[in-house]
Structure 1
C-alpha cells in the first residue's frame, strides 16, 4: 500500500461473508470445492487466514483426501483469529455455510471483489505517479496499469474468449472429438431439422447464423422452431422479438405444440387469438400445450426498438440467470435484425448501420460463446427474378451481413408466389397443390461445410415446421 492510499484510507471491496460461507460449505460437503474452483483461487480471498484455509483445501482435494476439521486445525495451528480458538472459528464457518449449489455464486462474488481491489489499487498507483514529487516515465506507468487492468478484463471473459496457446487449443479440440465419438458431448445446438443438423453439425458457440428471406417466407416460423428445439435440447434460449409481443409469440408456439395432423380441428394461432370458435376438444389440446410450454426455457424479450447495446446487456443477464439455474444459455434469436435501433454514429447511412449491427451481433456471439440467430429481411430485388429463391448476393446491399455471418440460411415458399399470381395456368395450379405446405431451407453459406437445400413441411397458420422425408 503506497503513501497516497494510506492517506486516503480507502475501504477496499471484500466479500468476507461469502468467503466464510464458501469455506463452511466445503467443510460440510467436499464436493463444493470442485464447483467453486472454476471461479476462485486462494489469492482472491481478502482475508489471509481464508487464503491459507482454501489453499490447504485445494491441496488436500487434489491429493484425493478428505477435507475435515482435523485438517483445518492442523493447518491453522495457533493462528490469530481475533480472540477465538481455531476450533470455534471452524465451527462458526460451518454454521454460516452456504449450500453446494450456491458455491459457484459465492465463489464469483469473492473473485469479483478481488478484481475490484485490483482496479482500485491500479488507479491508486497511477494517481501516486502523477502527484508525487518524483517524475516517472508515463509510458512505463501506463503500460503497467494497462497490463494489470487487462488481466482483470480478460479474467471476466468466458473461457472460450481468453488467450490460449495453439497446443492447449489443439488438446481441447482432440478431447472434445473423443467426447463426441463416445457420445458424451453434443456436436452443437440443434436446429431441429435433421438434415440441416447433419450438414452443419448444429449451431456452434460463437457463430452468427442468419435466416434470410422475403416477407411471408416463414422467417418467424423457422426462428421459433429453432428456438424451441434449442431450448428443449440444449438449455435456455433468449428470443428478442422486435415486431410481436409475448402473447403473439406464445400463440404461435402453442399452435405448434398443439398441432396434431390426425385431429379434425386445426388450431391456428389466429384461432387462438380469436378464441370464439375454439371447441372443447381444442381447448383441451391447448391446456396440454400450455403445460408443455411451461417446461420449455424460452425467454421472450418483446420490447421494440432495442439498440444493439441493450440486446447485449439483456443477453448477458440471461446468461447469468441461466447459470444461476445450473444451465448454460444455449442461444439467442433476434427477430429481426433490420428493426434493431442503430446508434447515431452512422445516422442516415443504412449500409454502415447494418454493418455495425451485424458485426456487433457476431461480437456478442463470440463474447458469450453461444450461437446468435438473426432473422433478416431481403430487399425487393429478389422479386425481379423469375426464380425468386434467395441468393447469397441478395445480402450484399445490407452492410457486412454476408461477411460477418458464419452460416446463412435462405428461406423460400413457392406456394406464396403461386397463390398471389394472377392468371395461373393449370400446370401452376397443380404445382401449387403439390407445394402448398412446403418451405425450402437452403444453406447459402457455411464456413466449414456443404451447401444443401432441405425441403420441409410447413403449416404457416399453425407455425409448424418439420423435415420432409422422401
Structure 2
C-alpha cells in the first residue's frame, strides 16, 4: 500500500562514489573541498567520513581504510559493520577526474533539501496561523532563499591558484593589445572612463553628493551610457518611480542645444507646452530608450536580499536573450531597508548593507553603483567640495567601496545665496552648467577631478571640450 511518503532529495550514490574516490586517491579531496561541505551529505555517516578525511588531510596524515576505521570506531551503521561499509565505498568509487561532478551532485541535492525545508516551514506557518505579518515573514523567506540562490551562482568566485589567475591577467592583456577587451561599464564621460577604466566587474562604486548636486542625473546618464555600450543594466529606484526617471531619461535623450524649445523633465511632466517638434524629439528619444537593455525596479523599501533576488532574475532574463548583466545601479543606499539584526544601530545597519552590496558585486561579477548622501557638515565649510569623511553614518561606505566619486556644483550654492557680489555673479555665470566629478578613492587608479557640462533641468551630462 502506498503511504505517500517520499525520501527528501538526495544523491546517496554520488556520496558513496565520491568518498570511494578519496579512499582510492586522497588527492581527490583537494579538488572537491571548495564544492561540498560535510553538512551537504544526506547520509550522516557519509558526512562523518568526509569531515574526518578533511581533518586528516589538513593534518598532513594519510587517508586510508585503516585510518578511517579508527576515526569511525564503533558507530552504528545499521545492518553493516564499518569494514563492510568501507569495502562498499571502495567498490563503488568514481575516478579522481569525475570527483568534482559527483561533489556538485551532492551539493545540489543538499540545496534542494534546504529549499524544500524552507517551503515546508512556510506552508506549516501559514496553515497553523503562526504568521501575523505576511510582509515581514515574506521578507525573512526572501533572505533565506537568497542565501540558497547565492550559493549556486558564484562559481567564478571559487578558489583559484595565483598562477592560473596571473595567466588570466596575461590573456586579458593580450586581448587588450589586440583591441578586443571590454573594460568596465562606461560612465559615458571619456575623461572619467580613462581615469577609472569604467565601472569594473566585482566593484562597489559609490556616487556621493549633497542634495541638488545631481546624483540622480549622473546615475541615469551612467546607466544609459552603459546600456548603449551593450551592458545589461538594472536601476533599483528606491526614491523615484519609473515615470519620474523616464521623464529625466527622455529629457536627456531628446536634448538638442540647437533647438528653439528646451525640453526639461519638468516641461515633459507638464506636457501641455510641448511643441510639435518637441514631441517628435521625444518620440525618437523613446525609440532609442526602447532598444536599450535597461530596466527599472521601482518598489520602495527593499532589503539587500530582495534587491539581490530581483537582480538575479534580470540576470537570467538577459542571459536567456544572449546578453549579460553589466551594471546594477541603486538610488540610494540610505533608503535600503536594513535587516532586523542591528535594529536601531544605524552605523551597524549601514555596515551590513555596504558589506552585502560589495558581496553582491563579487557574486554577480558585475559592478554595483550605489548613490549615497553626504553629511550636513559640508554646509558649514567655506569650501563645500566633498571629502571622504563626509560620507554619511558609517566609515564602512568608504571602507567597502572600491571607488568613491563625489559630485559638486558651485552654481547650486551661488544660486541659493541671498546676496551676491559682482564677483559672485560673474562666477555664477561662468559655472552655471558645470559639474565637478571628483574621484575621492580608487583602489586601482588615480584620484582626480573631471569637470563636465551639466544641464540639471534636462538631466544632461557631457564632456567639456578642451
Q: 1:267 to 1:149 in 2, by over 3 A?
A: same
Match of 1:254 in 2: 250
Note the C-alpha offset of 1:9.
Answer: 6.9
Task: Point out the more displaced range, 297-306 or 180-189.
Answer: 180-189
SS in 2 for 1:408: strand
Alignment of 1:17-56 (within 5 A): none
User: Quick one: structure 1 residues 380 and 128, their matched pair in 2 at CA, closer, same or farther if it must change by over 3 Å?
Assistant: closer
SS at match of 2:42: helix
Is 1:462 the counterpart of 2:458? The answer is yes
1:198 aligns with 2:117: no
Q: String of CA shifts for 1:74-93, please: whole Å, max 9, x gaps.
A: xxxxxxxxxxxxxxxxxxxx
Q: What is residue 426 of structure 1 aligned with on the other side?
A: 422
Following TM superposition, by how much is the alpha carbon of 1:157 offset from its aligned partner in structure 2, in angstroms?
3.6
Shift of 1:122: 2.6
CA distance in 1, matches of 2:192, 2:163: 32
Q: Tell me, yes or no, if structure 1 residue 440 matches structure 2 residue 436.
A: yes
Q: Distance in 2 between matches of 1:235 and 1:425?
A: 47
- In structure 1, distance between residues paired with 2:463 and 2:347: 35
**Partners of 1:434 and 1:219 in 2: CA distance:** 21
From 117, 123, 129, the equivalent of 2:42 is 123
After superposition, the C-alpha distances for 1:184-213 in whole angstroms (9 at most, x for unaligned) are 111221111101111111111000000000
- Give deviations 1:253-311, integer Å, cap 9, x for gaps: 00000000000100011111100111111111111111111011111000110011100
Q: What's the CA shift for 1:423?
A: 1.1
Match of 1:156 in 2: 152
Could you tell me which of 162, 168, 184 is aligned with 1:188? Answer: 184
Provide the residue aligned with 2:286 in structure 1. 290
How far the C-alpha of 1:220 sits from its partner, in A, is 0.2
Quote the Cα distance in structure 1 between the aligned partners of 2:240 and 2:261. Answer: 26
Structure 2 residue aligned with 1:215, among 194, 211, 214?
211
CA distance in 1, matches of 2:157, 2:47: 33
Question: What is the aligned partner in structure 1 of residue 390 from structure 2?
Answer: 394
Secondary structure at 2:341 match in 1: coil
Question: Which stretch shifts more, 148-157 or 273-282?
Answer: 148-157
User: Shift of the alpha carbon at 1:234?
Assistant: 3.4
Equivalent position SS for 1:330? strand
Output one character per residue of 1:216-263: Cα deviation in whole Å (capped at 9) or x when no partner.
Answer: 000000011111111111321000001111111011000000000000
Are 2:373 and 2:391, in contact at CA under 8 Å, matched by a contact in 1?
no
**Does structure 1 residue 367 correspond to structure 2 residue 363?**
yes
| Aligned counterparts of 1:121 and 1:451: Cα–Cα separation in 2 | 46
Equivalent-residue separation in structure 2 for 1:213 and 1:201 (angstroms): 22
What is the distance in 2 between the residues matched to 1:283 and 1:126? 72
* Counterpart pick for 2:234 among 231, 234, 238: 238
Q: Is the 8 A contact 2:227 2:293 kept in 1?
A: yes
128 and 375 in structure 1: CA distance in 2 versus 1, 3 angstrom threshold: closer
Determine the C-alpha separation between the residues in 2 that align with 1:328 and 1:156.
17
Rounded Cα–Cα distance in structure 1 between residues aligned with 2:267 and 2:38: 57
Q: Assess if the C-alpha contact under 8 Å between 2:203 and 2:366 holds in 1.
A: yes
Instruction: Give me the whole-angstrom Cα distance separating, in 1, the residues matched to 2:8 and 2:311.
Output: 33
Q: 1:13 to 1:236 in 2, by over 3 A?
A: farther
Structure-2 separation of matches of 1:219 and 1:124: 54
Shift of 1:121: 8.7
TM-score using structure 2 length: 0.71
| Native 8 Å contact 1:353 1:399 kept in 2 | no
Query: RMSD across aligned C-alpha pairs, in angstroms?
Result: 3.2
Q: Tell me, what secondary structure is at the counterpart of 1:123?
A: coil
Structure 2 CA distance for partners of 1:235 and 1:396, relative to 1, 3 Å: closer
Look up the match of 1:346. Answer: 342
Q: Against the structure 1 CA distance between its residues 270 and 155, is the aligned structure 2 distance closer, same or farther, given a 3 Å change threshold?
A: closer
Counterpart secondary structure, 2:325: coil
- Cα distance in 2, alignment partners of residues 131 and 240 from structure 1: 54
Asked if 1:410 corresponds to 2:406, the answer is: yes
Structure 1 residues 85-144: Cα deviation after superposition (integer angstroms, max 9, x where no partner): xxxxxxxxxxxxxxxxxxxxxxxxxxxxxx99x9999314559989744898xxxxxxx9
| Corresponding residue SS for 2:41 | helix
| Counterpart for residue 66 of structure 2 | none
Summarize the Cα distance change of 1:266–1:10 in structure 2 as closer, same or farther, 3 Å threshold. Answer: same
> Taking structure 1 as reference, are residues 131 and 313 closer, same or farther at Cα in structure 2, changes over 3 Å only?
farther
Matches within 5 A, 1:284-323: 284-323=280-319
Note the C-alpha offset of 1:399: 4.2
1:49 aligned partner: none
